[in-house]
Every structure is written in C-alpha cells, then in structure tokens.
C-alpha cells in the first residue's frame, strides 16, 4: 500500500514538472519580440510638409600654399576680407630666386655668344673648303658643324632653365584662383614658411550649397521637385530659392537616407556663411503631378516591404501599430517599380508605419521592436 501511494505521488510530481515546463516554454515564447526595420509611409502631402535640415557650405573652398619655401614678407589680407581672382594675398622674399634667374640668364647669354662664334667659324670653314679644297678638310668642317649643333642644344637647355627660374620666381606670389572671402589664416607675416604649408583659406561665397538627407520613401520625388526654398535659422523670415545640384544614388546604411545637394545664389541683402544651419522645403512640380496621376495618389515603399504568400494571389505589407508595436497584415495594390522602390496605389495612408525587412518571419499580432536606424 505504501509503495502504491509512493508511485502515485511520484507520478503526480512528474506531471506537475512537465506542466510547469510547458507553461514556462509558452511564457518564454510569448516574450519573443522580433527586431525589424521600419519606415513611416510618405506621400506627396508628406513631402510638402517636411522640412529637411542641413548646414551651409561653400561651393568652392581652398587652402592656399606656396610651391616654394622662404620667409614671408607680406600678407595684406585678413579674415573677412573679400578677394578677387588674381589678387596677391601673400609674398615670399624673392631675392634668392631672382639671383637664380639672373644666373640662368647669364649662362644663356654666354652660350648664345658661343653659338654665334661657332656659327661664324663654321661658315668660314665652309668658305675655305669651297674656295680651296686643299686648304682644309671635310673633317674640319664637320667638327665646326658639330660644335655649332652643341652650342644650339646648350641654348635650348639654358632657355628651359631660364623659364624654370622665372616660374620659380613667380611662385613667390600667392594669387587667388577665384573670387571669394578669406575665412582663415594659418601663418603670420615675416614667418618662414615651407612649400605646401597652408597660408590661408578662401571660400567662394557667390554661391552657397547645402546637403540634406531625404528618406528612402521620399527620394523618388526629389528629381521632380519645384519651389525649393531654404530658410536659415539666422534669418528666419528670409526664404532663399534653391536648385537641386546633385542627388546621391546610395543610401546611408545607418539612416537609410539619400544625400541631396542644394545650391543657391548668395543673396544681396544678407550674407550666408558656411556653417549656418537651415531647413529646405519643396514640392513636386505641377507638370509631374499632371503626367503621373497614379503615382500622385500612391505611396512609395521599398520593394522589400511587399510580400505575397505562396498560396494567395495577393500582395500585403505588415503595418505596425505605434502604440502596441504589434503587426497587422494589410492587403495592398501595387503599381510601377521606381528607381528606389515600388508604388502602392491602394491600402496605405501617409503616416502608416510598415516593416521593410524580414517580412516573411512575422505573423499576425506579433510584437516587434523597431531598430534605431529606421528612416523617419
């Protein structure tokens, strides 16, 4: 009887352990939260309403330096001075280089005199040969001709030396390659400087550029944008018209955004300096909207967000509830494939958050964790 009671108790204890283990596995399974990348769906209205921040930079910027070394004897410009192309902004003491040039010119003049003498001797030897063949020889004539050829070759070499010395002397002048403004200086006057050592920095302030980052769900709209305006934080009431200079073709791996370079003319009534922060706005052109009514009504999403179960002839996306972070499968109607995604004509609204990676590993009602590198 005691053995029977013991066996029954042991069986109950094992059953309890098994049930507890199953329950623990179920609890642990419920706690699985899958990380996903996600974007917030954008459309033309979203594009119009967005402000894209950026920082101004010069279209051209250069650190000027000498090609020769020597003591600085003049630097007539300071930070903030405007300069024109060809202006001299610094000068190295030229005396050593003037000596080199004069030496090269002296050697050239001496060799020119030698060449004239060789020419004269060659011509005299030729006259003797023509007048009396026995008074000289062809060998003597050839020797004089060779001496003349050597003198002429020396002249060409020394002319190159003079040109090089003239160029070196010109390198003692530091000239401006384009109109701009001095924004930094690196050496003081009368300081000894080395070749290629930065002397001062000049930026072209006739045009201003700004690089902004566009989310991948809106980048296809950028080439068709119009009414691009830039407002700088320093001048909040001033709208500056801009143009698209360049559109990046590769998205950032961390932010999933594309760089877009905006260029604008420098306003006459205010001065925009490199480093100033601002925001860019724009909207799709009326022509593009008229020619692409379906895309106007659609929403662009990455191709990776679209999936179709093997047994269903339909297309879906996973919509993420921003409060509960749970996913819901939603049927969509797709349109054309663009350079950076695919158009969804029906089923999505601007502002919907959808998963764009790992969609085949999700299931209805699964809780997810949005990775930090999502594109807003």
Determine the average pLDDT of the residues in 338-361.
82
Tell the residue number behind the tokens 């967005």, with chain if given. 50
How far is residue 111's CA from residue 157's CA, in Å, rounded to a whole number?
10
Q: What is the pLDDT of residues 107-158, one digit of tens each?
A: 999 999 999 998 988 888 888 878 777 777 888 888 888 988 998 999 999 9
The confidence score (pLDDT) of residue 141 equals 80
With 0-12 / 13-18 / 19 or more C-beta atoms within 10 angstroms meaning exposed / middle / buried, residue 144 is: buried
Instruction: Output phi, psi for 345, to 5 deg.
Output: -85, -30
Determine the average pLDDT of the residues in 221-229.
84
Determine the average pLDDT of the residues in 325-354.
84
Give residue 297's pLDDT band: very low, low, confident or very high (50, 70, 90): low
- The answer to whether 235 and 276 have CB atoms below 8 angstroms apart is no
Per-residue burial over 20-55, b if 16 or more Cβ lie within 10 Å, else e, is: eeeeeeeeeeeeeeeebbbbbbbbbebbeebebebe
pLDDT > 70 in the chain, percent: 84
Give residue 356's pLDDT band: very low, low, confident or very high (50, 70, 90): confident
Number of alpha carbons in the 13 Å side-chain half-sphere of residue 292: 19
Q: What is the pTM of this model?
A: 0.55
Q: What is the pLDDT of residues 176-192, one digit of tens each?
A: 999 999 999 999 989 99
Give residue 293's pLDDT band: very low, low, confident or very high (50, 70, 90): low
Identify which has the larger pLDDT, 270 or 135. Answer: 270
């Amino acid at each position: 009887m005691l053995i029977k009671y013991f066996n029954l108790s042991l069986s109950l204890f094992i059953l309890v352990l098994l049930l507890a283990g199953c329950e623990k596995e179920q609890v642990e399974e419920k706690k699985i939260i899958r990380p996903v990348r996600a974007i917030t769906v954008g459309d033309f209205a979203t594009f119009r309403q967005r402000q894209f921040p950026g920082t101004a930079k010069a279209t051209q910027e250069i650190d000027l330096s000498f090609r020769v070394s020597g003591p600085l004897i003049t630097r007539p410009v300071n930070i903030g001075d405007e300069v024109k192309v060809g202006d001299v902004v610094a000068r190295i003491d030229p005396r050593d280089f003037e000596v080199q040039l004069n030496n090269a010119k002296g050697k050239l003049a001496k060799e020119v005199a030698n060449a004239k003498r060789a020419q004269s001797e060659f011509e005299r030897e030729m006259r003797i040969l023509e007048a009396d063949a026995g008074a000289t020889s062809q060998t003597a004539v050839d020797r004089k001709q060779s001496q003349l050829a050597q003198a002429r070759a020396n002249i060409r070499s020394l002319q190159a030396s003079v040109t090089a010395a003239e160029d070196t002397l010109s390198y003692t002048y530091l000239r401006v390659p384009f109109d701009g403004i001095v924004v930094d200086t690196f050496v003081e006057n009368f300081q000894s400087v080395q070749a290629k050592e930065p002397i001062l920095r000049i930026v072209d302030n006739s045009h201003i550029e700004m690089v902004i980052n566009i989310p991948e769900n809106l980048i296809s709209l950028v080439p068709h944008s119009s009414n691009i305006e830039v407002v700088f934080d320093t001048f909040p009431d001033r709208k500056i018209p801009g143009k698209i200079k360049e559109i990046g073709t590769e998205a950032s791996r961390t932010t999933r955004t594309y760089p877009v370079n905006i260029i604008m003319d420098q306003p006459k009534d205010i001065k925009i300096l490199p480093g100033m922060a601002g925001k860019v706005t724009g909207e799709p052109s009326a022509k593009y909207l008229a020619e692409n009514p379906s895309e106007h009504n659609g929403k662009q999403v990455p191709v990776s967000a679209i999936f179709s179960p093997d047994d269903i002839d339909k297309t879906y996306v996973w919509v993420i509830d921003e409060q509960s972070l749970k996913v819901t499968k939603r049927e969509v109607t797709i349109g054309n494939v663009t350079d950076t995604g695919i158009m969804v004509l029906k089923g999505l609204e601007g502002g919907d958050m959808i998963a764009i990676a790992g969609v085949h590993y999700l299931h209805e009602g699964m809780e997810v964790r949005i990775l930090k590198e999502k594109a807003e």
